[in-house]
Amino acid sequence: MELTGRLTADAKVSEVKGRKKVVNFSIAINDSYKPKDGERVELTTYVECAYWINAKVGQYLKKGLLIQMNGRMGSRAWVNKDGDAKSYLTCNISNLKFLGGSTNSTATNPGGNKGKGASEDDDLPF
């Protein structure tokens, strides 16, 4: 599935078993619509993301950055201690593209390769 959204916070790189690294971050996808006889309704969907291909890309994923990504969607659901049902969407990312829009200029154009998808074959993380 292809998604486009803004990072809600700076990405975090974590090391898991086998010294494998993963970049975790969350994006917000904004949408709106106007019913026939009503006021505009704003919707925001949050997606928890994991990127396993190249951990170096994590340093460029800063809050507010607009990204486009492809990956496999999933969901998690649970009941909290108060008995309320909770859930969120997840995405295991296979391709990531920087679209810009962050206040951090290095995040919008890291190394001058804006828009190039990340690949494990590249020397650079973008």
* CA angle 110–30–112, rounded 5-degree value: 10
Which residues does residue 88 pair with via DSSP β-bridges, in sequence order?
76
Q: SS3 for 102?
A: coil
Task: Tell the residue number behind the tokens 């829009």, with chain if given.
Answer: 101
Domains in the chain: boundaries: 2-112
Burial class (CB in 10 A: 0-12, 13-18, 19+), 106: exposed
pLDDT confidence of residue 104? 52
Q: SS3 for 37?
A: coil
pLDDT confidence of residue 1? 87
pLDDT confidence of residue 117? 46
Digits of tens for pLDDT over the chain (126 positions)?
899 999 999 999 999 999 999 999 999 999 999 998 889 999 999 999 999 999 999 999 999 999 999 999 999 999 999 999 988 899 999 999 999 876 554 444 444 444 444 444 444 343
The CATH class of 2-112 is mainly beta
* CA angle 93–107–112, rounded 5-degree value: 100
pLDDT confidence of residue 120? 44
Task: Tell the residue number behind the tokens 């700076």, with chain if given.
Answer: 10
